[in-house]
A and B are shown apart, each in its own frame.
Chain A
Amino acid sequence: MKTLRRDFLKIAAVAALGWGVRPASELLAAGGGGTAREGLLFASRHTVLSGPNALKASRWGMVIDTAKLTDEIVVDVTNICHTTHNVPNIPGNQNLKWIWETSMEHLFLDNYHEYQPETGAKSALALCNHCDNPPCVRVCPTKATFQREDGIVMMDFHRCIGCRYCMAGCPYGSRSFNFKDPRPFIEKVDLNYPTRAMGVVEKCEFCAERLAEGKMPSCVEVSAGAITFGDLDDPESDVRKLLAERFSIRRSPYLGTKPCVYYLV
């Protein structure tokens, strides 16, 4: 009797393995339960299937003219971004911010020196650089943060498990975590955009939802020309023309991240 039972179990195990081959291969082919466009397993660039009205680019980039940034513009920019996207205003060090003003020293670290001209900009805006080689995408275990083929590093708030590996991976400190329920801390909820729930990481997405409707990112619209947004791969775009005219730098490019936010100094 004992031998018969053991044989049965062995056959059952092999059969289960055999029966599992087809479902497993189907699951893998579908990109692990996600959409077929996601790509097999690896964090490949996601195709963008935008509609006819959308703004399209081969590689989105942003140019910030530090000379044109006034205090009013900075306030307008941070306000419009945080209000349009329901970013909560939480006091203390568990705060969230998608774009904020910080000193040139904090932006450019050891590139900054004390002998800069008095009239030069003392501060500028920090935000997600939508790197071309993003370490955050590389480390995300669920592809909740992923890169689109047009370069935008996106967040899938539905999939994020809140492990915060991306926050450790980002060398620019651009990412924020919802340590608690954000809703009590949102002054006026914008009904056209969701909030997030507690336990997910968030950051600037280059207003991908506005680009899909043919609109420029909110910060660009209120910046009175201080922020320019366009296609880095198009030599005729506004961003390329600006970069050709004046000297520009990026934050910590030696880290290999290939950031796509340029600062005109």
Chain B
Amino acid sequence: MYDKNKILIGLAVFVVFMTYPFWNNIGSAAYQRPELEKPKNAKDCVESVEFMRAEHMAMLNNWRDEVVRGGEHEYHSTASHQVFQKSLTKTCIKCHENKALFCDKCHATVAVNPYCWDCHVDPKGDMK
């Protein structure tokens, strides 16, 4: 092929750059789950920890449409058979009081920026 050397060198440089996150982290600790502040006044969440870890995004999305568009405010928990209000501010935040020490810890680690907080008020944040 034409310019074989230039192409192979360029390709090698590209591969090195694209795999940087992988080889740079060889030897250092694997992804560590950040320490989250547990709620003081409640033992059980709306659902189990495993479910929440995997599903809280989809669940909150569903709550959003069910409450606003369906007028359906009550959530029947499959774990505890209790009835909760489908509300980020009135249910979740009631126990997980500190957004910075709970929500933001994981979100910052995995670099996601949910825009919920543009509107939903964080009681301990700058909107006291």
Contacts and interface: CB of A to CB of B under 8 A. Distances in A.
A and B touch in the complex (CB under 8 A): yes
Interface of A: 34-35, 37-38, 46-51, 54, 86, 146, 148, 154, 156-158, 183, 186, 189, 191-197, 208, 212-213
A219 B90 CA distance: 22
A192 B89 contact: yes
A48 B64 contact: no
14 contacts: A35-B65, A37-B70, A46-B69, A47-B71, A54-B71, A86-B121, A148-B71, A156-B69, A158-B68, A192-B89, A194-B120, A195-B127, A208-B71, A212-B71
Main secondary structure on chain B at its contact with chain A? loop
Given A46-B70, A189-B127, A192-B89, A158 B64 contact: yes
Contact of A34 (B69, B115, B119): B69
Contacts of B71: 46-50, 54, 148, 208, 212
B121 A189 contact: yes
A193 B87 CA distance: 10
Nearest to A51: B74
Contacts, number: 67
A83 to B, nearest CB: 13
Interface residues on B, range: 20 to 34
Contacts of A195: 119, 121, 127
Contacts of B69: 34-35, 37-38, 46, 146, 154, 156
A98 B79 CA distance: 40
Interface in B49-106: 64-66, 68-74, 89-90
Nearest to B66: A35
B123 interface: yes
Nearest to A35: B65
Given A192-B90, A195-B119, A197-B115, A48 B127 contact: no
Nearest to B118: A197
